[in-house]
A = this chain, B = another copy of it.
Amino acid sequence: MTDECITRNFSLLNRSNSGGSSNGQTKSNRSSIIDNTDAKGCMEGSSGGATGTGSGVPSSINKYVARMPVDRYASEYNMNHKYRGQAIIFNHEFFDIPSLKSRAGTNVDAEELRKALKSLGFDVSVHKDCKLRDILKYIDKAASLDHTDNDCIAIAILSHGEHGYIYAKDVQYKLDAIWHYFTAHICPTLAGKPKLFFIQACQGDRLDAGVMLEKNGVTETDGESSMSYKIPIHADFLFSYSTIPGYFSWRNTTNGSWYMQSLIQELNTNGKKYDILTLLTFVSQRVAIDFESNVPSTPLMDRQKQIPCVTSMLTRILRFTDKPSGNKAG
């Protein structure tokens, strides 16, 4: 046996948008073309390295089927379901952990974010100072709902954090503990729909001092394509972090965090105008340019900068277009 795998490439002939095979290659249904994976592990042993504990997914998973929320080659997500969908805000101000100070300003963030998401049509719930078991209870409940008539889901977490971890009221946890509830095989009514995460929390204790810049000079949705299609279970997630891994995330005790202030302002100003990745690019611009810490008494903390970080597994353009009135909440 070899580690080399055969690709089905089953649909290349049927692709209709974006101009098809423009680079001169002719595509066809190839049933015997050799594939590899680019993993060290895949190259060893008789089973191609994928039978170890790392693979994690039994072949029986191939049976999973979900309803198609949008045509196969649509360039935009379908945001025309009856409802926009659920938005859940986990707002953390006070902690049981002695080393964690209360997060003054977070209630401004939570309230402004609630209003911004509501005006985009979300059915918003806010949960204050939850212990991890309660967070998981709400997440499990949300993942168990029928989202058939909803466009998407949004989860926001406002808390303390450090590298790789976020704090609940009582313990720290990894974001993985939450977002895996919404993978397409576990939550099929959200399969093929955007799953949005907004995280306001530190990802470490490093500081970004910045660089001064000085002046010097100066698809539309496809028509019909009724074939069934298969998507990766991890597709259609988006994670918007307030800061990059390893770094501080700043919060103003009166106005809320730099990131949440910026996110809320962009959602309110351009939320229905631009797609989400453009919106979040402008959020990054606001945070990166408009804010700077001022702690002259602590030189190491003084005049520091922050850059948010977006990680996207989205497969289509996402735009919060208007809904008919009366269908504002899901």
A324 within 8 A of B: no
Enumerate A216-254 residues with CB–CB distance to B below 8 Å. Answer: 216, 218-219, 226-235, 242, 244, 246-254
Q: Find out whether the CB atom of B290 lies under 8 angstroms from the CB atom of A64.
A: no
Residue of B nearest to A311 (CB): B311
CB neighbours (8 Å) of A6 from chain B are: 293-296
CB neighbours (8 Å) of A315 from chain B are: 281, 284-285, 288-289, 307
CB neighbours (8 Å) of A252 from chain B are: 7, 9, 33-36
Q: Find out whether the CB atom of A228 lies under 8 angstroms from the CB atom of B206.
A: no
Q: Find out whether the CB atom of B253 lies under 8 angstroms from the CB atom of A295.
A: no
Q: Find out whether the CB atom of B289 lies under 8 angstroms from the CB atom of A48.
A: no
Q: In the complex, A160 Cα to B114 Cα: how many Å?
A: 44
A301 within 8 A of B: yes
A314 within 8 A of B: yes
Q: Find out whether the CB atom of B22 lies under 8 angstroms from the CB atom of A269.
A: yes
Q: In the complex, A98 Cα to B265 Cα: how many Å?
A: 54
Q: How many Å from the CB of A239 to the closest CB on chain B? A: 9
Q: Find out whether the CB atom of A254 lies under 8 angstroms from the CB atom of B34.
A: yes
Q: Find out whether the CB atom of B251 lies under 8 angstroms from the CB atom of A62.
A: no
Which residue from B116, B230, B274, B280 sits with its C-beta under 8 Å from A212? B230
Which residue from B39, B72, B184, B250 sits with its C-beta under 8 Å from A162? B39
Q: Find out whether the CB atom of A103 lies under 8 angstroms from the CB atom of B38.
A: yes
Q: In the complex, A310 Cα to B18 Cα: how many Å?
A: 20
Q: In the complex, A185 Cα to B41 Cα: how many Å?
A: 38
Q: Find out whether the CB atom of A301 lies under 8 angstroms from the CB atom of B233.
A: no
Q: Which of A59, A205, A264 has the most CB of B within 10 A?
A: A205
Enumerate A85-128 residues with CB–CB distance to B below 8 Å. Answer: 97, 99-101, 103-105, 112, 115-116
Enumerate A1-34 residues with CB–CB distance to B below 8 Å. Answer: 1, 3-12, 15, 18-23, 25, 31, 33-34
Enumerate A263-313 residues with CB–CB distance to B below 8 Å. Answer: 264-266, 268-270, 274-275, 277-278, 280-282, 284-286, 288-303, 305-313
Q: Find out whether the CB atom of B37 lies under 8 angstroms from the CB atom of A265.
A: no
A159 within 8 A of B: yes
13 contacts between A and B (CB under 8 A): A11-B290, A39-B204, A41-B162, A43-B100, A51-B300, A55-B206, A57-B207, A57-B208, A57-B209, A64-B210, A65-B212, A219-B274, A231-B288
- Interface 1/0 per residue, A128-158 and B, CB below 8 Å: 0000000000000000000000000000000
Q: In the complex, A252 Cα to B248 Cα: how many Å?
A: 41
Q: How many Å from the CB of A122 to the closest CB on chain B? A: 16
Q: Find out whether the CB atom of B51 lies under 8 angstroms from the CB atom of A253.
A: no
Extra contacts besides A38-B200, A41-B162, A55-B300 (9): CB < 8 Å: A1-B298, A23-B115, A34-B104, A39-B205, A40-B100, A208-B233, A212-B228, A231-B305, A309-B311
Q: In the complex, A227 Cα to B18 Cα: how many Å?
A: 41
Q: Find out whether the CB atom of B251 lies under 8 angstroms from the CB atom of A233.
A: no
